[in-house]
Amino acid sequence: MTTSDLVLIGSGVQQPTRIFDFIGGPLIADAGQTVEHELSQLVSRTPVNLGWPFFEGDTRVRGGGPNDPVAPSVTYNFGSERFEGVKITGGLYYEEFAFERSRIDSLRDRVLFADANGSIFTIGLDFDPSTFEDRTQDFIPVSGEIGRIVAMAEDFDRVLLILDEDGELFRVDPD
């Protein structure tokens, strides 16, 4: 590969924290600055603009800029209340797994993502706001405490893993 093989396909991301596979195109997690955090899906092979520094999520924060930035698939506000956060940090598409023992049925076909404040959210595949759920209470560990989440992933058997800022790694075993 040479540098001429690299093609700019997007701009306008304020504080990217994660990109992950999703049906129809990757999702980019972008931590906002003061208004909203967002997940945005890339569905085009042509260059796209996600709006920053003129938009933060769905909210125009500065005049000028693009008239038609790619709208985020899901947003949530800054804050410390339920359904709010400080920085989107982890995410993955939780699909039905090949391994029965690792499947958590209530998460099947959901986009699962976390905030640095320790909150864990899900939303349906169509990003319908009515399917946006705060699932934090479903992830209380048997031992230890999930602090500021920095990443989520799957292990070899496609079991969900959560890593927090102080170095604790949690495995989410189905009931």
Domain that holds residue 84: 7-172
pLDDT at 40 over 90: yes
Task: Please report whether residue 1 resides in a domain.
Answer: no
Task: Please report whether residue 2 resides in a domain.
Answer: no
Burial code of 63-91, b = ≥16 C-beta within 10 A, e = fewer?
A: eeeeeebbebbbbbebeeeeebbbbbbbb
pTM of the predicted structure, to 2 decimals: 0.86
Side-chain-facing half-sphere of 10: CA atoms under 13 Å: 19
Q: Checking DSSP bridges between strand 84-85 and strand 59-60, what pairing results, if any?
A: unpaired
**Percent over 70 (pLDDT), the chain:** 92
* Per-range mean pLDDT, top range of 20-34, 75-89, 121-135, 146-160: 121-135
Task: Please report whether residue 103 resides in a domain.
Answer: yes
Give dist(CA 82, CA 100) in Å, integer: 32
User: What's the confidence (pLDDT) of residue 100?
Assistant: 53
Q: What is the mean pLDDT of the chain?
A: 86
The total domain count for the chain is 1
pLDDT at 98 over 60: no
Give dist(CA 97, CA 103) in Å, integer: 6
Helices (H), 24-154: none
pLDDT at 88 over 70: yes
CATH code of the domain in which 33 resides: 2.120.10.30
Task: Please report whether residue 80 resides in a domain.
Answer: yes
Task: Please report whether residue 91 resides in a domain.
Answer: yes
**How distant, in Å, are the alpha carbons of 90, 149, 153, 172 from that of 164?**
10, 4, 12, 13
Residue range 156-168: mean pLDDT, rounded: 89
